[in-house]
Structure 1
Amino acid sequence: MDPAGAPWWGVPVIAGGFLLLGAVLGFVFNRLNEDRKAKQAAAIRWDSELREIGAEVLTTVNEMTRTGAVLEVRTLYVRGGKPDRATLLQAERQTNEHVESLAGFLVECQLIAPPNVYAALNRISRSAWDFQGTLYPNSSSAGRVDAAHKQLLRDVWEFVETLRAHLGVETGLPKPDSNNE
């Protein structure tokens, strides 16, 4: 070894060390990046499913409360009238189909939804069931139908806000005006 200079093998050893370090770091960072991309792709896929289910839930609730015999029952009660037994039975049958649809959405969400979104959808399902129960001919009254309808609207609003927060969409939609619904 020459006391005035570096050993002849020093440069190749240092270069080799940096080469190995670069290969290890490249592998580690590439692996982390691929894992992040895979998680992001899965999240996008499940979020897309949740978005579709959310839209179907909103459509189902709107059809349940704003069409056919149910709308007729609500309108009669608001105007101070009382629906006949046949109208109430028809409204109850109509809501039964929608309640079953909501139960199906709930089952789908058990697999893919985060707990807070699932809980909000579960509250809608229970409120829809309660709303349907107010339409039975022997137990129907204006106050019960109105209270159950307002609770269902509050639960739908909460579900929308929870789903929007999960999807990263701005929240803060106005609460439904119970007097106009």
Structure 2
Amino acid sequence: MPTPSPTPLLEVASASVAPWWGVPVIAGGFLILGGLFGFVSNWLLENRKQTRAEAIRWDGDIREYVAEIIDLCRQITLVVLSELAFAAGAEYSIRTVVEALPPDEQKKLLNGEDLDTYARREATDISDESPEQTQWREKRFDLYQQVDKLVASLDLVAPDAIREAARRLRQITADLRTQDTASPPKRKDTAHIDEAVEELITAVRRHLGRAS
């Protein structure tokens, strides 16, 4: 008797049965994917924690450096104002004395110079040699060195906006010393320094996410 051939239904059923190694391979693949996903997730989480910890540490340094820079620049401003006031006072005194002289003696003393030029030159010589100006000058240089060191440290940890604002404050404070000494310094002479301080504070607050 001939052997009956399998029916088409049995052939389909037989073909749909997975090979013996299929289930372990699939299960192992999912296991590997799951482990890889967990590893990547943990790595990203730890990386975020480390980045945040470093940012918090640098933020503390930034706050400290900026606070010291602002304090030192304010000290420099007071020193420079003292220097300018002293020089302006000396110049005013010399001008007053010369103006009180008889015309002939005044002309002989000035020797062709105008009064303003003479008074300023003499006041500069007197100021440069005075103990007060020497003390203020030494203190100003020392404060500048401290500011420069802090600005250099800030360059290592701060974003560009904070670094630029700090350098601008330093430069504006230095420029105050070059102003005209013909009259005592006024409040408006330091207004741009106050603006530079506010600009630096605003840059730090924005970096820390606390801008108002």
- Residues in 2 aligned to 1:3 and 1:144: alpha-carbon distance in whole angstroms: 102
2:165–2:196 contact (8 Å) kept in structure 1: yes
Aligned to 2:163: 118
Choose which of 83, 86, 105 in structure 1 pairs with 2:89.
83
- Residues in 1 aligned to 2:142 and 2:71: alpha-carbon distance in whole angstroms: 13
Residues 1:34 and 2:75 aligned together: no
2:205–2:211 contact (8 Å) kept in structure 1: yes
**Aligned partner letter, 2:40:** V
What is the CA distance between 1:148 and its match in structure 2?
4.6
**Aligned partner letter, 2:204:** L
Gaps of 5+ in 2: 1-10, 91-126
Residues 1:161 and 2:202 aligned together: yes
Aligned to 2:192: 151
Residues 1:49 and 2:90 aligned together: no
Normalising by the residue count of structure 2, what TM-score does the alignment of the two structures yield? 0.62
CA 1:133–1:98: 2 relative to 1, 3 Å? farther
Looking at CA atoms only, which structure, 1 or 2, has the larger radius of gyration? Answer: 2
**Aligned partner letter, 1:83:** G
Number of residue pairs matched by the alignment: 161
Deviation per residue, 1:50-72 (Å, 9 max, x gap): 11101111221233334xx5565
- Residues in 1 aligned to 2:163 and 2:65: alpha-carbon distance in whole angstroms: 11
- Residues in 2 aligned to 1:30 and 1:6: alpha-carbon distance in whole angstroms: 39
What is the CA distance between 1:158 and its match in structure 2?
0.6
- Residues in 1 aligned to 2:139 and 2:186: alpha-carbon distance in whole angstroms: 15
Aligned to 2:13: 3
Aligned to 2:34: 22
SS of equivalent to 2:13: coil
SS of equivalent to 1:170: coil
2:162–2:204 contact (8 Å) kept in structure 1: yes
Aligned to 1:102: 147
**Aligned partner letter, 1:101:** Q
- Residues in 1 aligned to 2:182 and 2:141: alpha-carbon distance in whole angstroms: 18
**Aligned partner letter, 1:20:** I
Gaps of 5+ in 1: 172-181
RMSD over aligned CA atoms reads 3.2
Normalising by the residue count of structure 1, what TM-score does the alignment of the two structures yield? 0.71
CA 1:16–1:30: 2 relative to 1, 3 Å? same
- Residues in 2 aligned to 1:122 and 1:104: alpha-carbon distance in whole angstroms: 12
What is the CA distance between 1:170 and its match in structure 2?
2.5
What is the CA distance between 1:142 and its match in structure 2?
3.9
Percent of aligned positions with the same letter in both sequences?
Answer: 30
SS of equivalent to 1:83: helix
Task: Kindly indicate which of the two structures has a greater share of residues assigned to helix.
Answer: 2
1:120–1:155 contact (8 Å) kept in structure 2: yes
